[in-house]
């Protein structure tokens, strides 16, 4: 079941990278490189996504998936040489995607570098945040020795209690 959980987290990191890149792209509103010349057809220059260059979603997603896959592999197989293969292949594929977007005239180099930074950050933090404080045991998870006796900060029960207390505060105001 550990592999399935990691696959879900890898997918979550890709979705989180898509969301973050989309928000940043809409906020920046930077025109694509082909708008600075006259070679692009008028239909492309007037397209809906012509002004949406910074941050490359393709680069963000590919680096998020590559990084989160590496983190998952290192967690499952900490002393394996396969981790280096995952790093090399994942990094090469993500770099190829980013380079293709620049060579295709869809992004500036700064767009894909920003996407790589955001994707790598989300990819490395998604699995670590999900599994922080947990030790893998034979039959499931338990709190590590440093957290024994403490409740996890982010639980469904804690979120519901917080929501109810906030709801109670806002209704009395």
Which domain, by its residues, includes 37? Answer: 2-132
What pLDDT digit, counting tens, does each position of 10-67 carry?
A: 899 999 999 999 999 989 888 888 888 777 777 777 777 777 888 999 999 999 999 9
**Helices then strands, each counted (H, E), the chain:** 6, 2
pLDDT of residue 85: 94
Per-residue b or e along 79-105, where b marks 16 or more CB atoms closer than 10 Å to that residue's CB: eeeebeebbeebbeebbebbeebbeeb
Does residue 106 carry a pLDDT above 80?
yes
Q: Reduced to 3 states, what is the DSSP secondary structure of residue 142?
A: strand
pLDDT of residue 8: 85
With respect to residue 155, please indicate whether it lies within any of the assigned structural domains: no
What is the domain count for the chain? 1
With respect to residue 48, please indicate whether it lies within any of the assigned structural domains: yes
* Residue 152: band (very low, low, confident or very high) from pLDDT cuts 50, 70, 90: very low
pLDDT of residue 161: 56
pLDDT of residue 75: 84
Sign (positive or negative) of CA dihedral 141, 146, 148, 149: negative
With respect to residue 170, please indicate whether it lies within any of the assigned structural domains: no
> Cα 78 to the chain's mean position, in Å?
22
The chain-wide mean pLDDT, for the chain, equals 78
Cα 38–Cα 42–Cα 47 angle in degrees, nearest 5: 115
């Amino acid at each position: 079941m550990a592999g399935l959980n990691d696959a879900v987290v890898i997918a979550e990191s890709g979705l989180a990278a898509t969301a973050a890149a989309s928000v940043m792209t809409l906020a920046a509103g930077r025109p694509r490189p082909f708008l600075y010349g006259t070679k692009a057809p008028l239909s492309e220059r007037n397209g809906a996504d012509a002004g949406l260059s910074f941050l490359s979603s393709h680069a963000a997603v590919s680096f998020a998936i590559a990084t989160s896959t590496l983190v998952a592999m290192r967690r499952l197989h900490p002393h394996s040489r396969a981790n280096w293969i995952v790093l090399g292949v994942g990094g090469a594929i993500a770099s190829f995607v980013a380079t293709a977007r620049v060579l295709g005239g869809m992004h500036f180099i700064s767009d894909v570098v920003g996407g790589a930074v955001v994707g790598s950050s989300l990819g490395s933090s998604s699995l670590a945040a999900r599994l922080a404080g947990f030790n893998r045991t034979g039959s499931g998870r338990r709190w590590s020795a440093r957290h024994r006796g403490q409740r996890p900060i982010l639980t469904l029960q804690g979120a519901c209690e917080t929501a109810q207390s906030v709801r109670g505060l806002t209704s009395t105001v």
